[in-house]
Amino acid sequence: MPACPLRQARNPRIRNGQRVSRTDAQARAEDVARAAYGKLIAMLASRSGDIIAAEDALADSFVAALKTWPERGIPDKPEAWLLTVAKNRRTDQARKDARLVITDEANDMADTQAIEPEEAQLDERLKLMFVCAHPAIDETIRTPLMLQTVLGLEAEQIAKAFLIKPATMAQRLVRAKKKIKSAGIPFVVPEPEAYPERMSAVLEAVYGAYAVDWLEGDGDLSHEAFFLSNILAELDPENPEALGLTALIGLIESRRDARIHNGVLVPVPEQDVDLWDRPLIDRSASILTQASLKGRPGRFQLEAAIQSVHAARSVTGKTDWRALSQLYHGLMQAHPSIGGAVSRAAVVSEDAGPAEGLKMLDLIAFDGLDSYQPFHAVRAHCLSELGRVAEAAEAYNTALMLCTDEPSQRWLEKKTADLRKKMS
Amino acid sequence: MRYTFLLYSDPAMAANMTEEDWAKSKEIYGQYIGALQEAGVFVDTDWLHPADTATTITLAGGEKQVQDGPFAETKETLGGFFAIDVENLDEALKWAEKCPHVHYGKLEIRASAMGSV
């Protein structure tokens, strides 16, 4: 498969760490890609179900755009241009393959003209999201599939985020795409009756997409995922978890400017509240209230409630550890996870003291705990508070070895340095 | 697209079925077949004698080999199938969910590959 230049352009980090020089045409093409990648894939693939062919055709049309636009100017309707070129390319290919009915293509061509309305765009993306999170698709590949087909990420980047070998990730993505085509998974937004059954997988996958680059990324992907969560909340406003997810992402996003200072991670309770996005906090909190009025609590609502307790510090000036501790207990019942368990222990250590926090850590029984960085970081913190500095230093060291992102590494180094001062 | 439902179950479960149970089962499946026909999606169905009565043949090794029994010994065996013709996997899943078999066995849905290769 030819590499899509826009996928690379989307994320300049992967080009030897150097930003690609942006001509106007390139910049415009990038903008179109960001806004419309998933939509164009959905429109190209919806009839045949063939995502791989759609990606190939779109990659070719992006190549053509980067060649043609600087010379002849950017077309009035760049998306329609890209779509038409991709469809022509695909028709050529189909003629070569001599196995596609051309009349079908003619119908496809007709709706090229009718793609402009905003609503249609949302609809097409939604269809693709429901395809990616279809119950017939393996749960663990749904988020990667969404990252690739809806948001246009390369398999390599996705593999890095999921700590899987790039070749393995690429293979699994291809397998999923082939299944979509051969099993006949339809490109449709399900009937509202099916929302309860289908929505939670879509919400999970979108949250997964948000989590991928929340710390290190340039924010593009997070914004896209936030946007998708908003669409889902609008699609299914009676679903408190859909509202909960968009409130949760909004609350985390509101702290984007505060979470790293001079390259060092700043934990939420220590962040400068003046750097928080107040309107976004208020908006998210109000969505969460709407959700809780439905009287059906769930994982995302509880996580959003936890984040809104943190957000309340901007008004009250202090963190309500007792409330956090109770919410984490609730979360662990609704949706047990290793991250929740470790965060609960951290919160308990602030509320009831480091000895209690340590006890909570000892009770955690999840696979992969030994290689879970936050576990060692929280343990180090509790030990340090208890004056068990040698053990604390060892735990910080383990955490550092497991840490994969720079801001967290620097934060752990800072904690280790603080500990050394304490020891001497 | 044509879909085939492959019906797998543990034959031991059928061992204790009475005459009356069989009659009831036939009636329930009859209703299901009727519903498929009425919706215009029915293609074919069959139910099969137990897997231990199977005869397996292959020429894959170059010479003919005939074996008494199924090709693989598994607890759950293929007991029958339905073939239906519907738009997509969602439609197929809707019909699969209504198949009486799913209450005691597993139903594997496979799309027809005819015409695609």
Residue A47 has pLDDT above 90, yes or no: no
Per-residue pLDDT band for A404 (boundaries 50, 70, 90) equals: confident
> Distance from A205 to chain B by nearest Cα, in Å?
20
Residue A20 has pLDDT above 60, yes or no: no
Mean pLDDT value across residues A296-311: 97
Q: Taking all residues of chain B, what is their mean pLDDT, rounded to a whole number?
A: 92
> Distance from A182 to chain B by nearest Cα, in Å?
7
Per-residue pLDDT band for A23 (boundaries 50, 70, 90) equals: low
Chain B interface with A: residues with Cβ < 8 Å = 1, 3, 87-90, 92-93, 109, 111, 113, 116
**From A114-118, A226-230, A276-280, A365-369, the region with the lowest mean pLDDT:** A114-118
Q: Which domains does chain B have, with CATH numbers?
A: 2-111 (3.30.70.1060)
Q: How far apart are CA A239 and CA A378, in angstroms?
A: 34
- Residues A184, B1: C-beta atoms closer than 8 Å: yes
Nearest C-alpha in A relative to B114: A182
- Residues A184, B109: C-beta atoms closer than 8 Å: no
The token duo for A269 is 């309770």
Residue A100 has pLDDT above 80, yes or no: no
Residue A119: what pLDDT?
A: 55
Q: What is the pLDDT of residues A194-216, one digit of tens each?
A: 888 889 889 988 998 888 766 55
Per-residue pLDDT band for A2 (boundaries 50, 70, 90) equals: very low
ipTM entry: 0.84
Query: Cβ–Cβ contacts within 10 Å for residue B107, how many?
Result: 18
Residue B69: what pLDDT?
A: 86
Residue A275: what pLDDT?
A: 97
- Residues A190, B90: C-beta atoms closer than 8 Å: yes
Query: Cβ–Cβ contacts within 10 Å for residue A142, how many?
Result: 24
Close Cβ partners of A152 (under 8 Å, ≥ 6 residues apart):
A4, A6, A7, A10, A33, A34, A37, A38
- Residues A185, B90: C-beta atoms closer than 8 Å: yes
Chain A interface with B: residues with Cβ < 8 Å = 134-136, 182-186, 188, 190
Q: What is the pLDDT of residues B86-110, one digit of tens each?
A: 999 999 999 999 999 999 899 999 9
Q: Three-class SS string for chain A?
A: CCCCHHHHHHCHHHCCCCCCCCCHHHHHHHHHHHHHHHHHHHHHHCCCCCHHHHHHHHHHHHHHHHHHHHHHCCCCCHHHHHHHHHHHHHHHHHHHHCCCCHHHHHHHHHCCCCCCCHHHHHHHHHHHHHHHCCCCCCHHHHHHHHHHHCCCCCHHHHHHHCCCCHHHHHHHHHHHHHHHHHHCCCCCCCCHHHHHHHHHHHHHHHHHHHHHCCCCCCCHHHHHHHHHHHHHHHHCCCCHHHHHHHHHHHHHHCCHHHCEECCEECCHHHCCHHHCCHHHHHHHHHHHHHHHCCCCCCHHHHHHHHHHHHHCHHHHCCCCHHHHHHHHHHHHHHCCCHHHHHHHHHHHHHHHCHHHHHHHHHHCCCCCHHHCHHHHHHHHHHHHHCCCHHHHHHHHHHHHHHCCCHHHHHHHHHHHHHHHHHHC
Mean pLDDT value across residues A40-60: 92
**From A1-5, A297-301, B29-33, the region with the lowest mean pLDDT:** A1-5
Residue A108 has pLDDT above 50, yes or no: no
Q: Taking all residues of chain A, what is their mean pLDDT, rounded to a whole number?
A: 86
Q: How far apart are CA A174 and CA A176, in angstroms?
A: 5
Give A190's contacts in chain B (Cβ within 8 Å): 90
Q: How far apart are CA A364 and CA A339, in angstroms?
A: 10
Residue A19 has pLDDT above 80, yes or no: no
Residue A217: what pLDDT?
A: 62
Mean pLDDT value across residues A381-404: 95
> Distance from A142 to chain B by nearest Cα, in Å?
17
Is-contact A309 A247, C-beta < 8 A? no
Residue A110 has pLDDT above 50, yes or no: no
Residue B45: what pLDDT?
A: 97
Residue B13: what pLDDT?
A: 83
* 3-state SS, residue B107: strand
Give B3's contacts in chain A (Cβ within 8 Å): 184
Mean pLDDT value across residues A163-192: 93
